[in-house]
Structure 1
Amino acid sequence: MAVATSTEVVDLRNRGRGSRPPGERSLVASPGTWFVWAGIAVFFVFLAGIVVSVLVDSFAKQWFTTWLPEEWTVGWYAQAWDRFDLTHVIGVTLLVAFSVVALSVLIGLPASYVLARTRFPGKQLVLLLFLLPILIPPITYGIPLATVMYNFGLGRTILAVVLVNLVPSVPFVIITMTPFIEQINPSIESAARMSGARTVQVFTRILAPLLVPGILAAGILVLVRTVGMFELTFLVSGPQSDTLVVAIYRAMTSAGGGEARQLISSMGVVYTAMMLVILVIALRFINPTQLVARVKDTGDD
Protein backbone atom coordinates (compact mmCIF):
# COMPACT_ATOMS: atom_id res chain seq x y z
CA MET A 1 0.00 0.00 0.00
CA ALA A 2 1.48 3.34 -1.10
CA VAL A 3 1.98 6.04 1.50
CA ALA A 4 1.23 9.62 0.41
CA THR A 5 3.95 12.19 0.96
CA SER A 6 3.39 15.40 2.91
CA THR A 7 3.39 17.47 -0.31
CA GLU A 8 0.67 15.29 -1.82
CA VAL A 9 -1.41 15.54 1.36
CA VAL A 10 -1.20 19.33 1.34
CA ASP A 11 -2.11 19.41 -2.36
CA LEU A 12 -5.15 17.22 -1.73
CA ARG A 13 -6.28 19.45 1.13
CA ASN A 14 -5.91 22.58 -1.02
CA ARG A 15 -7.92 21.00 -3.80
CA GLY A 16 -10.61 20.11 -1.33
CA ARG A 17 -10.77 23.73 -0.21
CA GLY A 18 -11.11 24.96 -3.78
CA SER A 19 -7.71 26.64 -4.03
CA ARG A 20 -6.33 27.52 -7.47
CA PRO A 21 -2.83 27.20 -8.86
CA PRO A 22 -0.70 30.39 -8.74
CA GLY A 23 -1.57 32.87 -11.47
CA GLU A 24 -5.10 31.53 -12.01
CA ARG A 25 -7.84 34.11 -11.37
CA SER A 26 -11.34 33.54 -10.14
CA LEU A 27 -14.20 34.16 -12.56
CA VAL A 28 -16.47 35.17 -9.68
CA ALA A 29 -16.12 38.88 -8.92
CA SER A 30 -17.21 40.63 -5.74
CA PRO A 31 -20.34 42.82 -5.74
CA GLY A 32 -18.16 45.92 -5.41
CA THR A 33 -16.25 45.03 -8.59
CA TRP A 34 -19.47 44.55 -10.54
CA PHE A 35 -20.76 47.88 -9.23
CA VAL A 36 -17.61 49.68 -10.41
CA TRP A 37 -17.74 48.09 -13.86
CA ALA A 38 -21.43 48.87 -14.15
CA GLY A 39 -20.73 52.52 -13.33
CA ILE A 40 -17.97 52.67 -15.94
CA ALA A 41 -20.25 51.06 -18.53
CA VAL A 42 -23.06 53.55 -17.82
CA PHE A 43 -20.62 56.46 -18.12
CA PHE A 44 -19.33 55.30 -21.51
CA VAL A 45 -22.85 54.62 -22.77
CA PHE A 46 -23.92 58.18 -21.91
CA LEU A 47 -20.70 59.60 -23.37
CA ALA A 48 -21.11 57.63 -26.58
CA GLY A 49 -24.75 58.71 -26.80
CA ILE A 50 -23.82 62.39 -26.56
CA VAL A 51 -21.01 62.12 -29.12
CA VAL A 52 -23.06 60.08 -31.57
CA SER A 53 -26.09 62.39 -31.30
CA VAL A 54 -23.97 65.47 -32.04
CA LEU A 55 -22.21 63.68 -34.91
CA VAL A 56 -25.51 62.53 -36.45
CA ASP A 57 -27.04 65.99 -35.97
CA SER A 58 -24.13 67.58 -37.87
CA PHE A 59 -25.02 65.49 -40.96
CA ALA A 60 -28.81 65.75 -40.62
CA LYS A 61 -30.77 67.94 -42.97
CA GLN A 62 -33.78 67.70 -40.68
CA TRP A 63 -34.09 65.67 -37.50
CA PHE A 64 -37.08 65.93 -35.20
CA THR A 65 -38.96 62.90 -33.86
CA THR A 66 -37.41 59.94 -35.73
CA TRP A 67 -34.52 57.81 -34.45
CA LEU A 68 -32.36 58.80 -37.42
CA PRO A 69 -32.59 61.74 -39.84
CA GLU A 70 -34.59 61.18 -42.99
CA GLU A 71 -32.12 63.22 -45.09
CA TRP A 72 -28.36 63.60 -44.79
CA THR A 73 -26.00 66.35 -45.92
CA VAL A 74 -22.43 67.59 -45.45
CA GLY A 75 -23.42 71.14 -46.27
CA TRP A 76 -23.47 72.22 -42.61
CA TYR A 77 -19.70 71.82 -42.40
CA ALA A 78 -19.06 73.95 -45.47
CA GLN A 79 -21.53 76.56 -44.27
CA ALA A 80 -20.01 76.69 -40.78
CA TRP A 81 -16.49 76.86 -42.23
CA ASP A 82 -17.34 79.87 -44.37
CA ARG A 83 -19.72 81.62 -41.98
CA PHE A 84 -17.44 81.52 -38.94
CA ASP A 85 -14.08 81.56 -40.78
CA LEU A 86 -12.91 78.35 -39.12
CA THR A 87 -9.59 78.39 -40.98
CA HIS A 88 -8.63 81.55 -39.12
CA VAL A 89 -10.16 80.36 -35.84
CA ILE A 90 -8.30 77.03 -35.89
CA GLY A 91 -5.07 78.83 -36.80
CA VAL A 92 -5.50 81.17 -33.82
CA THR A 93 -6.30 78.21 -31.56
CA LEU A 94 -3.12 76.35 -32.52
CA LEU A 95 -0.99 79.51 -32.35
CA VAL A 96 -2.23 80.32 -28.86
CA ALA A 97 -1.93 76.72 -27.64
CA PHE A 98 1.64 76.14 -28.82
CA SER A 99 2.75 79.59 -27.67
CA VAL A 100 1.39 78.92 -24.20
CA VAL A 101 3.09 75.50 -24.11
CA ALA A 102 6.48 76.92 -25.15
CA LEU A 103 6.37 79.86 -22.74
CA SER A 104 5.05 77.73 -19.87
CA VAL A 105 7.91 75.25 -20.23
CA LEU A 106 10.54 78.00 -20.57
CA ILE A 107 9.27 79.70 -17.41
CA GLY A 108 8.17 76.68 -15.41
CA LEU A 109 11.20 74.43 -15.90
CA PRO A 110 13.78 76.70 -14.17
CA ALA A 111 11.29 77.46 -11.42
CA SER A 112 10.70 73.73 -10.92
CA TYR A 113 14.44 73.16 -10.64
CA VAL A 114 14.77 75.82 -7.95
CA LEU A 115 11.89 74.36 -5.96
CA ALA A 116 13.22 70.82 -6.30
CA ARG A 117 16.82 71.54 -5.39
CA THR A 118 16.64 74.27 -2.75
CA ARG A 119 15.14 74.61 0.70
CA PHE A 120 14.03 77.97 2.02
CA PRO A 121 11.54 79.31 4.56
CA GLY A 122 8.01 79.43 3.20
CA LYS A 123 8.58 76.85 0.46
CA GLN A 124 5.31 75.07 1.23
CA LEU A 125 3.49 78.39 1.07
CA VAL A 126 4.99 79.08 -2.37
CA LEU A 127 3.84 75.66 -3.59
CA LEU A 128 0.37 76.40 -2.24
CA LEU A 129 0.28 79.70 -4.12
CA PHE A 130 1.17 77.87 -7.33
CA LEU A 131 -1.74 75.51 -6.73
CA LEU A 132 -4.31 78.27 -6.38
CA PRO A 133 -4.69 79.11 -10.12
CA ILE A 134 -5.20 75.40 -10.78
CA LEU A 135 -7.70 74.73 -8.00
CA ILE A 136 -9.90 77.83 -7.98
CA PRO A 137 -12.31 78.56 -10.85
CA PRO A 138 -10.66 80.63 -13.62
CA ILE A 139 -13.47 83.17 -13.64
CA THR A 140 -12.51 84.33 -10.11
CA TYR A 141 -9.18 85.73 -11.28
CA GLY A 142 -10.08 86.04 -14.95
CA ILE A 143 -12.09 89.25 -14.51
CA PRO A 144 -9.24 91.15 -12.77
CA LEU A 145 -6.82 89.82 -15.39
CA ALA A 146 -9.09 91.00 -18.19
CA THR A 147 -9.35 94.43 -16.55
CA VAL A 148 -5.55 94.69 -16.49
CA MET A 149 -5.31 93.64 -20.15
CA TYR A 150 -7.86 96.19 -21.29
CA ASN A 151 -6.21 98.94 -19.22
CA PHE A 152 -2.92 98.25 -21.01
CA GLY A 153 -4.64 98.25 -24.40
CA LEU A 154 -4.15 94.54 -24.99
CA GLY A 155 -7.81 93.54 -24.95
CA ARG A 156 -9.12 91.48 -27.88
CA THR A 157 -5.59 90.59 -29.02
CA ILE A 158 -3.84 87.24 -29.37
CA LEU A 159 -1.13 88.46 -27.00
CA ALA A 160 -3.72 88.97 -24.26
CA VAL A 161 -5.12 85.47 -24.84
CA VAL A 162 -1.62 83.98 -24.51
CA LEU A 163 -0.78 85.98 -21.37
CA VAL A 164 -3.95 85.12 -19.46
CA ASN A 165 -3.59 81.43 -20.30
CA LEU A 166 -0.08 81.47 -18.85
CA VAL A 167 -1.50 82.16 -15.39
CA PRO A 168 -2.81 78.60 -14.82
CA SER A 169 -0.39 76.92 -17.25
CA VAL A 170 2.93 77.94 -15.68
CA PRO A 171 1.93 76.67 -12.19
CA PHE A 172 0.69 73.49 -13.86
CA VAL A 173 4.13 72.90 -15.41
CA ILE A 174 5.83 73.66 -12.09
CA ILE A 175 3.64 71.25 -10.13
CA THR A 176 4.15 68.56 -12.79
CA MET A 177 7.90 68.99 -13.28
CA THR A 178 9.04 69.40 -9.66
CA PRO A 179 8.57 65.69 -8.77
CA PHE A 180 10.40 64.66 -11.94
CA ILE A 181 13.42 66.76 -10.98
CA GLU A 182 13.32 65.57 -7.36
CA GLN A 183 13.57 61.94 -8.51
CA ILE A 184 16.82 62.57 -10.42
CA ASN A 185 19.86 61.83 -8.28
CA PRO A 186 21.69 65.12 -7.49
CA SER A 187 25.01 63.24 -7.65
CA ILE A 188 24.70 63.28 -11.45
CA GLU A 189 24.87 67.07 -11.41
CA SER A 190 27.68 67.05 -8.86
CA ALA A 191 29.75 64.73 -11.06
CA ALA A 192 29.21 66.98 -14.06
CA ARG A 193 30.28 70.07 -12.11
CA MET A 194 33.38 68.28 -10.83
CA SER A 195 34.22 67.55 -14.47
CA GLY A 196 34.15 71.26 -15.24
CA ALA A 197 30.61 71.74 -16.54
CA ARG A 198 28.98 75.06 -15.85
CA THR A 199 25.43 75.47 -14.54
CA VAL A 200 24.00 76.15 -17.99
CA GLN A 201 25.76 73.10 -19.41
CA VAL A 202 24.52 70.91 -16.56
CA PHE A 203 21.00 72.11 -17.17
CA THR A 204 21.02 71.80 -20.98
CA ARG A 205 23.20 68.71 -21.49
CA ILE A 206 22.56 66.64 -18.37
CA LEU A 207 19.15 67.48 -16.95
CA ALA A 208 17.25 68.40 -20.11
CA PRO A 209 17.62 64.96 -21.80
CA LEU A 210 16.59 63.23 -18.57
CA LEU A 211 13.55 65.48 -18.21
CA VAL A 212 12.21 64.93 -21.73
CA PRO A 213 9.40 62.58 -20.54
CA GLY A 214 8.29 65.09 -17.92
CA ILE A 215 8.49 68.02 -20.34
CA LEU A 216 6.42 66.16 -22.91
CA ALA A 217 3.86 65.18 -20.28
CA ALA A 218 3.52 68.74 -19.01
CA GLY A 219 3.40 70.10 -22.56
CA ILE A 220 0.63 67.72 -23.61
CA LEU A 221 -1.49 68.53 -20.58
CA VAL A 222 -1.01 72.27 -21.03
CA LEU A 223 -1.81 71.98 -24.75
CA VAL A 224 -5.11 70.19 -24.12
CA ARG A 225 -5.98 72.53 -21.27
CA THR A 226 -5.31 75.65 -23.34
CA VAL A 227 -7.30 74.47 -26.35
CA GLY A 228 -10.27 73.80 -24.06
CA MET A 229 -9.91 76.90 -21.88
CA PHE A 230 -13.05 79.01 -22.26
CA GLU A 231 -13.37 81.48 -19.39
CA LEU A 232 -10.00 83.24 -19.57
CA THR A 233 -9.94 83.30 -23.37
CA PHE A 234 -13.50 84.59 -23.67
CA LEU A 235 -12.84 87.52 -21.33
CA VAL A 236 -9.98 88.98 -23.39
CA SER A 237 -10.51 87.69 -26.95
CA GLY A 238 -12.26 89.35 -29.85
CA PRO A 239 -13.39 88.58 -33.41
CA GLN A 240 -9.80 88.15 -34.61
CA SER A 241 -8.46 86.36 -31.52
CA ASP A 242 -11.20 83.87 -30.63
CA THR A 243 -10.17 80.26 -30.18
CA LEU A 244 -12.44 77.48 -31.42
CA VAL A 245 -14.18 76.86 -28.09
CA VAL A 246 -15.02 80.56 -27.78
CA ALA A 247 -16.16 80.71 -31.41
CA ILE A 248 -18.60 77.87 -30.72
CA TYR A 249 -20.05 79.79 -27.78
CA ARG A 250 -20.40 82.98 -29.80
CA ALA A 251 -22.14 81.03 -32.56
CA MET A 252 -24.60 79.60 -30.02
CA THR A 253 -25.44 83.01 -28.58
CA SER A 254 -25.31 85.14 -31.74
CA ALA A 255 -28.58 86.80 -32.72
CA GLY A 256 -30.34 85.39 -29.69
CA GLY A 257 -29.37 81.83 -30.53
CA GLY A 258 -30.79 82.07 -34.02
CA GLU A 259 -28.11 79.94 -35.69
CA ALA A 260 -29.15 76.51 -36.92
CA ARG A 261 -28.47 73.75 -34.43
CA GLN A 262 -26.68 71.71 -37.08
CA LEU A 263 -24.12 74.49 -37.56
CA ILE A 264 -23.22 74.36 -33.89
CA SER A 265 -23.06 70.56 -33.99
CA SER A 266 -20.71 70.61 -36.97
CA MET A 267 -18.40 73.05 -35.14
CA GLY A 268 -18.51 70.78 -32.10
CA VAL A 269 -17.47 67.82 -34.26
CA VAL A 270 -14.57 69.86 -35.71
CA TYR A 271 -13.47 70.78 -32.17
CA THR A 272 -13.64 67.17 -30.99
CA ALA A 273 -11.75 65.95 -34.06
CA MET A 274 -9.01 68.53 -33.51
CA MET A 275 -8.60 67.47 -29.89
CA LEU A 276 -8.41 63.81 -30.91
CA VAL A 277 -5.77 64.57 -33.54
CA ILE A 278 -3.69 66.46 -30.96
CA LEU A 279 -3.93 63.58 -28.49
CA VAL A 280 -3.10 60.93 -31.09
CA ILE A 281 -0.03 62.86 -32.24
CA ALA A 282 1.05 63.45 -28.66
CA LEU A 283 0.61 59.80 -27.66
CA ARG A 284 2.64 58.86 -30.71
CA PHE A 285 5.71 60.26 -28.99
CA ILE A 286 4.98 59.51 -25.35
CA ASN A 287 3.24 56.88 -23.25
CA PRO A 288 1.71 58.56 -20.17
CA THR A 289 1.57 55.33 -18.17
CA GLN A 290 5.34 54.97 -18.29
CA LEU A 291 6.36 58.53 -17.41
CA VAL A 292 6.84 58.11 -13.68
CA ALA A 293 8.58 54.75 -14.07
CA ARG A 294 11.05 56.20 -16.56
CA VAL A 295 12.02 59.09 -14.36
CA LYS A 296 12.23 56.88 -11.27
CA ASP A 297 14.58 54.48 -13.05
CA THR A 298 16.70 57.42 -14.14
CA GLY A 299 16.91 58.74 -10.58
CA ASP A 300 17.89 55.30 -9.24
CA ASP A 301 20.70 55.02 -11.76
Structure 2
Amino acid sequence: MHTETTMPKQVEADNSNQSHGIWNFLKYLRAIPFWIIIVCFITLVIGMTVAVFFNAFAKAWNGTILPDGYTLQWFKQAWVSYEIGNYYQITLEIVFSATVISLVLSLPTAYILARRDFPYKNLLIGFFQMPFTLPELVYAIPITSIFYSIGLAETMPGLILVNLIIGIPFSVFILIPFIESLDQRLEWAAQSLGASKFKMLTRIIIPQLIPGITASAINIFIRMFSNFTIILLISGPEKQTLPVMVFSVLSSSGSQPPQMLNSLALSLMFPLLFFAFFSLWFSSYTQRRLGK
Protein backbone atom coordinates (compact mmCIF):
# COMPACT_ATOMS: atom_id res chain seq x y z
CA MET A 1 0.00 0.00 0.00
CA HIS A 2 2.83 2.35 0.84
CA THR A 3 4.49 1.73 -2.53
CA GLU A 4 1.20 2.27 -4.39
CA THR A 5 0.62 5.68 -2.79
CA THR A 6 4.20 6.81 -3.33
CA MET A 7 4.32 6.11 -7.07
CA PRO A 8 1.48 8.52 -8.11
CA LYS A 9 3.07 11.29 -6.05
CA GLN A 10 6.43 10.76 -7.74
CA VAL A 11 4.82 10.72 -11.19
CA GLU A 12 2.91 13.90 -10.34
CA ALA A 13 6.14 15.60 -9.17
CA ASP A 14 7.94 14.57 -12.37
CA ASN A 15 5.11 15.96 -14.49
CA SER A 16 5.15 19.20 -12.50
CA ASN A 17 8.91 19.62 -12.98
CA GLN A 18 8.56 18.89 -16.68
CA SER A 19 5.78 21.48 -17.06
CA HIS A 20 7.82 24.03 -15.11
CA GLY A 21 10.81 23.42 -17.37
CA ILE A 22 8.70 23.82 -20.52
CA TRP A 23 7.22 27.06 -19.16
CA ASN A 24 10.68 28.47 -18.42
CA PHE A 25 11.85 27.51 -21.90
CA LEU A 26 8.86 29.31 -23.45
CA LYS A 27 9.66 32.42 -21.38
CA TYR A 28 13.21 32.38 -22.70
CA LEU A 29 11.92 32.05 -26.26
CA ARG A 30 9.62 35.06 -25.79
CA ALA A 31 12.55 37.13 -24.49
CA ILE A 32 14.76 36.38 -27.50
CA PRO A 33 13.30 39.15 -29.79
CA PHE A 34 13.82 41.71 -27.02
CA TRP A 35 17.47 40.75 -26.56
CA ILE A 36 18.03 40.72 -30.31
CA ILE A 37 16.79 44.31 -30.51
CA ILE A 38 18.99 45.38 -27.56
CA VAL A 39 22.10 43.70 -29.02
CA CYS A 40 21.47 45.22 -32.47
CA PHE A 41 21.00 48.69 -30.99
CA ILE A 42 24.18 48.49 -28.88
CA THR A 43 26.13 47.10 -31.84
CA LEU A 44 24.87 49.93 -34.06
CA VAL A 45 25.84 52.65 -31.57
CA ILE A 46 29.26 51.15 -30.87
CA GLY A 47 29.83 50.53 -34.57
CA MET A 48 29.10 54.14 -35.54
CA THR A 49 31.32 55.45 -32.73
CA VAL A 50 34.20 53.17 -33.72
CA ALA A 51 33.79 54.15 -37.37
CA VAL A 52 34.00 57.86 -36.52
CA PHE A 53 37.04 57.20 -34.32
CA PHE A 54 38.98 55.25 -36.98
CA ASN A 55 38.00 57.65 -39.77
CA ALA A 56 39.28 60.64 -37.77
CA PHE A 57 42.76 59.08 -37.64
CA ALA A 58 42.71 57.46 -41.09
CA LYS A 59 44.98 58.54 -43.91
CA ALA A 60 42.52 56.93 -46.31
CA TRP A 61 39.68 54.44 -45.90
CA ASN A 62 38.32 53.07 -49.17
CA GLY A 63 36.05 50.08 -48.64
CA THR A 64 38.49 48.06 -46.50
CA ILE A 65 37.85 46.70 -43.01
CA LEU A 66 40.51 48.96 -41.49
CA PRO A 67 42.03 52.22 -42.78
CA ASP A 68 45.13 52.16 -44.97
CA GLY A 69 47.10 54.11 -42.37
CA TYR A 70 46.79 56.48 -39.42
CA THR A 71 47.71 60.11 -38.93
CA LEU A 72 47.11 63.12 -36.68
CA GLN A 73 47.02 65.46 -39.67
CA TRP A 74 43.24 65.89 -39.60
CA PHE A 75 43.25 66.92 -35.94
CA LYS A 76 45.97 69.49 -36.57
CA GLN A 77 44.14 70.81 -39.63
CA ALA A 78 40.80 71.01 -37.79
CA TRP A 79 42.42 72.69 -34.79
CA VAL A 80 43.85 75.44 -37.00
CA SER A 81 40.99 75.78 -39.50
CA TYR A 82 38.17 75.94 -36.95
CA GLU A 83 40.13 77.66 -34.15
CA ILE A 84 39.18 74.92 -31.71
CA GLY A 85 41.55 76.27 -29.05
CA ASN A 86 39.69 79.58 -28.99
CA TYR A 87 36.32 77.87 -28.58
CA TYR A 88 37.73 75.64 -25.84
CA GLN A 89 38.85 78.75 -23.99
CA ILE A 90 35.47 80.48 -24.34
CA THR A 91 33.60 77.34 -23.29
CA LEU A 92 35.79 76.73 -20.23
CA GLU A 93 35.52 80.37 -19.13
CA ILE A 94 31.72 80.26 -19.35
CA VAL A 95 31.31 76.83 -17.75
CA PHE A 96 33.84 77.38 -14.96
CA SER A 97 32.28 80.73 -14.00
CA ALA A 98 28.77 79.26 -14.10
CA THR A 99 29.88 76.26 -12.01
CA VAL A 100 31.32 78.46 -9.23
CA ILE A 101 28.25 80.73 -9.17
CA SER A 102 25.90 77.72 -9.18
CA LEU A 103 27.66 76.18 -6.19
CA VAL A 104 27.66 79.44 -4.21
CA LEU A 105 23.94 79.99 -4.80
CA SER A 106 22.79 76.36 -4.54
CA LEU A 107 24.52 75.55 -1.22
CA PRO A 108 22.33 77.77 1.03
CA THR A 109 19.27 76.91 -1.06
CA ALA A 110 19.86 73.17 -0.68
CA TYR A 111 20.46 73.61 3.07
CA ILE A 112 17.17 75.44 3.56
CA LEU A 113 15.24 72.86 1.52
CA ALA A 114 16.86 70.00 3.43
CA ARG A 115 16.59 71.42 6.96
CA ARG A 116 13.58 73.76 7.04
CA ASP A 117 9.84 73.36 6.67
CA PHE A 118 7.97 76.41 5.45
CA PRO A 119 4.84 77.27 3.44
CA TYR A 120 4.99 76.54 -0.29
CA LYS A 121 8.15 74.47 0.10
CA ASN A 122 6.85 71.86 -2.36
CA LEU A 123 6.03 74.63 -4.81
CA LEU A 124 9.63 75.88 -4.62
CA ILE A 125 10.95 72.35 -5.14
CA GLY A 126 8.67 72.01 -8.15
CA PHE A 127 10.06 75.26 -9.52
CA PHE A 128 13.61 73.88 -9.31
CA GLN A 129 12.45 70.72 -11.07
CA MET A 130 11.11 72.61 -14.09
CA PRO A 131 14.35 72.50 -16.14
CA PHE A 132 14.26 68.69 -15.85
CA THR A 133 10.55 68.13 -16.50
CA LEU A 134 9.82 70.70 -19.21
CA PRO A 135 11.09 70.50 -22.80
CA GLU A 136 14.02 72.88 -23.12
CA LEU A 137 12.42 74.96 -25.86
CA VAL A 138 9.48 75.81 -23.55
CA TYR A 139 11.68 78.07 -21.43
CA ALA A 140 14.53 78.64 -23.93
CA ILE A 141 12.49 80.70 -26.39
CA PRO A 142 11.08 83.21 -23.82
CA ILE A 143 14.52 83.57 -22.21
CA THR A 144 16.09 84.17 -25.61
CA SER A 145 13.54 86.88 -26.37
CA ILE A 146 14.20 88.59 -23.02
CA PHE A 147 17.99 88.39 -23.41
CA TYR A 148 17.88 89.96 -26.87
CA SER A 149 15.59 92.74 -25.66
CA ILE A 150 17.88 93.68 -22.74
CA GLY A 151 21.16 93.22 -24.63
CA LEU A 152 22.46 90.09 -22.84
CA ALA A 153 22.37 87.85 -25.90
CA GLU A 154 25.69 87.13 -27.63
CA THR A 155 27.62 88.21 -24.52
CA MET A 156 29.70 86.33 -21.96
CA PRO A 157 27.51 87.42 -18.98
CA GLY A 158 24.42 86.27 -20.87
CA LEU A 159 25.90 82.85 -21.65
CA ILE A 160 26.95 82.44 -18.00
CA LEU A 161 23.48 83.40 -16.73
CA VAL A 162 21.79 80.98 -19.10
CA ASN A 163 23.91 78.11 -17.80
CA LEU A 164 22.77 78.90 -14.25
CA ILE A 165 19.28 77.77 -15.26
CA ILE A 166 20.69 74.25 -15.45
CA GLY A 167 23.51 74.53 -12.92
CA ILE A 168 21.61 75.76 -9.85
CA PRO A 169 18.67 73.28 -9.89
CA PHE A 170 20.94 70.36 -10.71
CA SER A 171 23.36 71.30 -7.93
CA VAL A 172 20.52 71.76 -5.43
CA PHE A 173 19.15 68.25 -5.97
CA ILE A 174 22.63 66.72 -5.73
CA LEU A 175 23.43 68.53 -2.47
CA ILE A 176 20.13 67.88 -0.65
CA PRO A 177 20.81 64.15 0.08
CA PHE A 178 24.32 64.98 1.30
CA ILE A 179 22.95 67.66 3.66
CA GLU A 180 20.19 65.37 4.94
CA SER A 181 22.81 62.74 5.83
CA LEU A 182 24.77 65.15 8.07
CA ASP A 183 24.52 64.78 11.84
CA GLN A 184 22.45 67.78 12.91
CA ARG A 185 23.62 67.42 16.51
CA LEU A 186 26.95 68.99 15.51
CA GLU A 187 25.10 72.08 14.35
CA TRP A 188 23.08 72.24 17.57
CA ALA A 189 26.27 71.91 19.59
CA ALA A 190 27.93 74.72 17.62
CA GLN A 191 24.90 76.97 18.12
CA SER A 192 24.86 76.25 21.87
CA LEU A 193 28.51 77.33 22.05
CA GLY A 194 27.67 80.65 20.44
CA ALA A 195 28.84 80.01 16.87
CA SER A 196 27.34 82.35 14.31
CA LYS A 197 25.54 80.99 11.26
CA PHE A 198 28.46 81.98 9.05
CA LYS A 199 31.00 80.14 11.23
CA MET A 200 28.71 77.14 11.47
CA LEU A 201 28.46 77.09 7.67
CA THR A 202 32.19 77.46 7.02
CA ARG A 203 33.54 75.30 9.88
CA ILE A 204 30.87 72.65 10.42
CA ILE A 205 28.73 72.18 7.33
CA ILE A 206 31.01 72.85 4.36
CA PRO A 207 33.91 70.61 5.53
CA GLN A 208 31.46 67.70 5.83
CA LEU A 209 29.98 68.49 2.42
CA ILE A 210 33.26 68.39 0.46
CA PRO A 211 32.33 65.07 -1.28
CA GLY A 212 28.87 66.42 -2.17
CA ILE A 213 30.21 69.76 -3.36
CA THR A 214 32.83 68.03 -5.50
CA ALA A 215 30.26 65.63 -6.97
CA SER A 216 27.93 68.55 -7.67
CA ALA A 217 30.71 70.58 -9.32
CA ILE A 218 31.74 67.72 -11.61
CA ASN A 219 28.19 66.89 -12.66
CA ILE A 220 27.03 70.42 -13.36
CA PHE A 221 30.30 71.14 -15.18
CA ILE A 222 29.56 68.22 -17.54
CA ARG A 223 25.95 69.31 -17.98
CA MET A 224 26.86 72.89 -18.80
CA PHE A 225 29.81 71.93 -21.02
CA SER A 226 27.42 69.94 -23.22
CA ASN A 227 24.54 72.43 -22.98
CA PHE A 228 23.35 73.12 -26.50
CA THR A 229 19.82 74.26 -27.36
CA ILE A 230 19.52 77.46 -25.34
CA ILE A 231 23.17 78.35 -26.01
CA LEU A 232 22.52 77.98 -29.74
CA LEU A 233 19.64 80.47 -29.50
CA ILE A 234 21.51 83.27 -27.69
CA SER A 235 25.12 82.80 -28.85
CA GLY A 236 26.55 84.91 -31.64
CA PRO A 237 29.29 84.28 -34.22
CA GLU A 238 32.00 85.55 -31.85
CA LYS A 239 30.65 84.09 -28.60
CA GLN A 240 29.99 80.41 -29.22
CA THR A 241 30.66 77.38 -27.10
CA LEU A 242 32.39 74.34 -28.54
CA PRO A 243 29.20 72.22 -29.00
CA VAL A 244 27.49 75.04 -30.92
CA MET A 245 30.55 75.55 -33.11
CA VAL A 246 30.78 71.82 -33.89
CA PHE A 247 27.08 71.74 -34.80
CA SER A 248 27.46 74.79 -37.06
CA VAL A 249 30.39 73.23 -38.91
CA LEU A 250 28.77 69.80 -39.28
CA SER A 251 25.47 71.27 -40.50
CA SER A 252 27.24 73.26 -43.23
CA SER A 253 30.12 70.90 -43.96
CA GLY A 254 30.02 71.36 -47.73
CA SER A 255 33.11 69.85 -49.34
CA GLN A 256 35.13 69.39 -46.14
CA PRO A 257 36.95 66.02 -45.90
CA PRO A 258 35.02 63.52 -43.75
CA GLN A 259 38.18 62.79 -41.74
CA MET A 260 38.49 66.40 -40.66
CA LEU A 261 34.80 66.56 -39.68
CA ASN A 262 35.15 63.36 -37.65
CA SER A 263 38.24 64.71 -35.91
CA LEU A 264 36.24 67.83 -35.06
CA ALA A 265 33.47 65.69 -33.56
CA LEU A 266 36.04 63.77 -31.49
CA SER A 267 37.45 67.05 -30.20
CA LEU A 268 34.09 67.50 -28.49
CA MET A 269 33.57 63.85 -27.54
CA PHE A 270 36.93 63.35 -25.81
CA PRO A 271 36.48 65.93 -23.01
CA LEU A 272 32.88 64.82 -22.42
CA LEU A 273 33.95 61.19 -22.11
CA PHE A 274 36.82 62.19 -19.81
CA PHE A 275 34.51 64.20 -17.54
CA ALA A 276 31.92 61.40 -17.53
CA PHE A 277 34.42 58.68 -16.55
CA PHE A 278 35.97 60.96 -13.95
CA SER A 279 32.53 61.58 -12.47
CA LEU A 280 31.83 57.82 -12.29
CA TRP A 281 35.24 57.18 -10.70
CA PHE A 282 34.77 59.93 -8.13
CA SER A 283 31.28 58.70 -7.21
CA SER A 284 32.65 55.19 -6.67
CA TYR A 285 35.61 56.55 -4.67
CA THR A 286 33.32 58.65 -2.47
CA GLN A 287 31.05 55.69 -1.75
CA ARG A 288 34.04 53.58 -0.74
CA ARG A 289 35.37 56.32 1.55
CA LEU A 290 31.99 56.79 3.17
CA GLY A 291 31.57 53.04 3.54
CA LYS A 292 28.45 52.81 1.35
Whether these two folds match at TM > 0.5 is: yes
Compute the displacement of 1:74 (Å).
2.6
In structure 2, distance between residues paired with 1:269 and 1:202: 46
Q: Following superposition of structure 1 onto structure 2, how do residues 34-113 of structure 1 map, counting pairs within 5 Å?
A: 44-70=42-68, 72-113=70-111
Deviations 1:156-179 (A, max 9, x none): 122211111111211111111112
For 1:27, the equivalent position in structure 2 comes to none
- Say which structure is richer in helix: 2
For 1:269, the equivalent position in structure 2 comes to 266
In structure 1, distance between residues paired with 2:256 and 2:127: 42
Q: Following superposition of structure 1 onto structure 2, how do residues 148-297 of structure 1 map, counting pairs within 5 Å?
A: 148-254=146-252, 257-279=254-276, 286-288=282-284, 290-291=286-287, 294=290
Deviations 1:18-60 (A, max 9, x none): xxxxxxxxxxxx959x979888765653343222111111123
Match for 2:124: what amino acid? V
Match for 1:182: what amino acid? E
- What is the number of equivalent residue pairs in this alignment? 264
Compute the displacement of 1:267 (Å).
1.1
In structure 2, distance between residues paired with 1:96 and 1:169: 12
Match for 1:287: what amino acid? S
Q: Percent identity?
A: 31
Compute the displacement of 1:269 (Å).
1.1
In structure 2, distance between residues paired with 1:258 and 1:154: 35
Residue ranges of structure 2 left out of the alignment (5+ in a row) = 1-26
8 A Cα contact 1:217 1:288, kept in partner: no
In structure 2, distance between residues paired with 1:182 and 1:93: 33
8 A Cα contact 2:219 2:279, kept in partner: no
Compute the displacement of 1:281 (Å).
5.2
2:252 is paired with a residue whose SS is helix
Match for 2:100: what amino acid? A
Residue ranges of structure 1 left out of the alignment (5+ in a row) = 1-29
The alignment yields a C-alpha RMSD, in angstroms, of 2.7
8 A Cα contact 2:166 2:224, kept in partner: no
For 2:132, the equivalent position in structure 1 comes to 134
In structure 2, distance between residues paired with 1:200 and 1:111: 15
Match for 2:152: what amino acid? L
1:287 is paired with a residue whose SS is helix
In structure 1, distance between residues paired with 2:288 and 2:113: 19
Deviations 1:250-280 (A, max 9, x none): 101236x443322221011111222233345
Q: TM-score by structure 2 length?
A: 0.80
For 1:118, the equivalent position in structure 2 comes to 116
